[in-house]
Amino acid sequence: MLKRRRTKVIILVITGLLILSVSNILLFKIREELDTQDNYSENINSNPLNIILAPSNSSICISNENFDSFNLECSIFNNLNLDFNLNTKVSLIIFIGTSAGVQLFHLIKNEDQSDIQDKQDRSISISLDLTVEESQVLALVEEFLTKNRVCYKSDLVSFINNRNFQESNGLNHNGIEHIIDSLASKHIIVEGSKITRNTILSNLNRRSIYEEIKNNPGIYLNKLSKNLGLS
C-alpha cells in the first residue's frame, strides 16, 4: 500500500509539473504574439493610408499614397490567423488541464477502492487468524486462481517463486510449501479448488451464511433462510 501511495504522489507531481510547463510555454507564446500584434497596430497607424469621413454626403474618401492593397489583405489574414492561433492554444491548455484532472480523479478513485479492499482483506485475515506471511501467500494464491486455474500445491509454489516472493520475504522453497500446507490445514485453500475461503468470505451473502452457521451450529436450512431473509 505504501508503494502505491508513493507511486500516486510521483504521478501527481509529474502531472502538475507538465501542466505548469505546458501552460507557461503557451502563455509565453501568446504574449509574444500579442506584442507582435501591438507592434503591427502601431505600424498601421503610421501608414500613409488615411481614411477621411466627409460629413456632407457621408461618403468615404481614401488617399492612396503609397498604398498596397495586397499587403493590406495579407495583414488582415495574418490578424485572423493570429486570433485563430490564440484560440487554439487556449483551447489546448483547457483540454490538457481537463484530461489531467480526469486522470487524477480516476487515479484517486482507484486508490480509494484499493484501500477499501485492503482493509477488507486485512479484516478477513484477522478473522481467519492468519500470519503476515500467510496473508501475503494467500494474496498470491488468489491472484493465481483469478486466471481460472486449479489450486495445486506444485503449481502454486512455482507461481510464487516466479513472482520473486522468495527474494522479497526471505522464504525458500520449503518455506513456501510450509505456508501453503498451513493454509490448507486451516481450510483456507483446498487442493483441486478454484476458490479460497477468503474469496467466499469476501462475498457478503456467503459471509453472512458462514457467520450464521458458525454462530448457530446445526441450524436447519429453513431456519437459516428465514434468519438471513433468503428464499
pLDDT of residue 161: 81
**Tens digit of pLDDT for each residue in 86-111?**
566 666 666 666 776 677 677 766 66
Question: What integer is the mean pLDDT of 146-167?
Answer: 74
Evaluate whether 118 touches 175 at the Cβ level (below 8 Å): no
**Tens digit of pLDDT for each residue in 38-88?**
565 555 555 444 444 444 444 444 444 444 444 544 555 455 455 555 566
Does pLDDT of 1 surpass 60? no
Closest listed residue to residue 182, CA positions, set 229, 126, 217, 130: 130
* More confident call, 195 vs 18: 18
In the numeric block, which cell numbers belong to residue 104? Answer: 487524477
d(CA 185, CA 189): 8
Between the two ends of the chain, the Cα-to-Cα distance in Å is 40
pLDDT of residue 177: 86
Q: Among 9-18, 64-73, 155-164, 198-207, name the one with the lowest average pLDDT.
A: 64-73
SS3 at position 186: coil
User: What is the longest distance spanned by two Cα atoms in the chain?
Assistant: 111
Does pLDDT of 208 surpass 80? no
pLDDT of residue 38: 57
d(CA 113, CA 216): 33
Which residues, 6 or more positions from 127, have their beta carbon under 8 angstroms from its beta carbon?
A: 201
d(CA 207, CA 202): 7
**What pTM, to 2 d.p., does this model score?**
0.37
DSSP character at residue 214: H
- Cell 486508490 belongs to 111
* More confident call, 23 vs 160: 160
When pLDDT is cut at 50, 70 and 90, the band that residue 182 belongs to is: confident
Which residues, 6 or more positions from 107, have their beta carbon under 8 angstroms from its beta carbon?
A: 8, 11, 12
**CA quadruple 108, 109, 110, 112: dihedral positive or negative?**
positive
Amino acid sitting at position 181: D
203 torsion bin: left (phi>0), alpha (psi -120 to 50), beta (else): beta
